[in-house]
Amino acid sequence: MSEQQSWHGTTILSVRKGNEVVVAGDGQVSLGPTVIKGNARKVRRIGQKGEIMVGFAGATADAFTLLERLEAKLDRHPGQTMRACVELAKDWRTDRYLRKLEAMMAVADKDVSLVLTGQGDVLEPEDGIIAIGSGGNYALSAARALIDMDMTAEEIARKAMAIAGEICVYTNGNVLLEKIELEDAK
């Protein structure tokens, strides 16, 4: 009996440095060893004014289901990204339907960067760098190596994504990046 092929691939990276925060995602979607699409849009802006950036990895339908649920939580808790993410994570962990969803999300706004998982995790990195997906560890390593360089968050994200694309066969160089300029540098 042959194993059913599954959708693979994504690298999502978020970098917070100086007066900006960015979320970048590659565009490759693969089915087994075959590239199905090279320009998928895995990074979106949500919120009433597009003030929140979300990148997702995993099954596409599952990711969109979670994105819709996060938007509903944000409608209930406007301006409270952390609270909306915690509420989503609670539902994701306890709801039978949501528990079966196979995706992860990186969420960033002007104040906070978070990783959400199906295990009920809402994680805020100490260093302002988040990476998820098949090439996530490569992008994370590259971004951490570059964070102390004289580079902006966007420059770090683009370089780290290029490095991940050179190493991970499920990541390509077609990068979509969203950026928020922060009012006060941290």
The full set of domains in the chain, from first to last, is 7-176 (3.60.20.10)
Nearest to 15 by CA among 105, 173, 134, 142: 142
Structure pTM?
A: 0.91
Over 70: is that where the pLDDT of 83 sits? yes
Query: Can you say which residues are annotated as belonging to the binding site?
Result: 165, 168, 171
Look up 34 and say whether it is catalytic. Answer: no
Cα separation, 55 vs 10, whole angstroms: 10
DSSP 3-state of 31 = strand
Residue 168, exposed/middle/buried by CB under 10 A (0-12, 13-18, 19+)? buried
Predicted pLDDT of residue 8: 55
How high does pLDDT run on average in the chain? 90
> Is residue 9 within 8 Å of 170, Cβ to Cβ?
yes
Predicted pLDDT of residue 184: 52
Predicted pLDDT of residue 32: 81
Query: Can you say which residues are annotated as belonging to the binding site for Na(+)?
Result: 165, 168, 171
Nearest to 30 by CA among 66, 59, 65, 64: 59
**pLDDT tens-digit map of 6-28:** 445 789 999 999 999 999 999 99
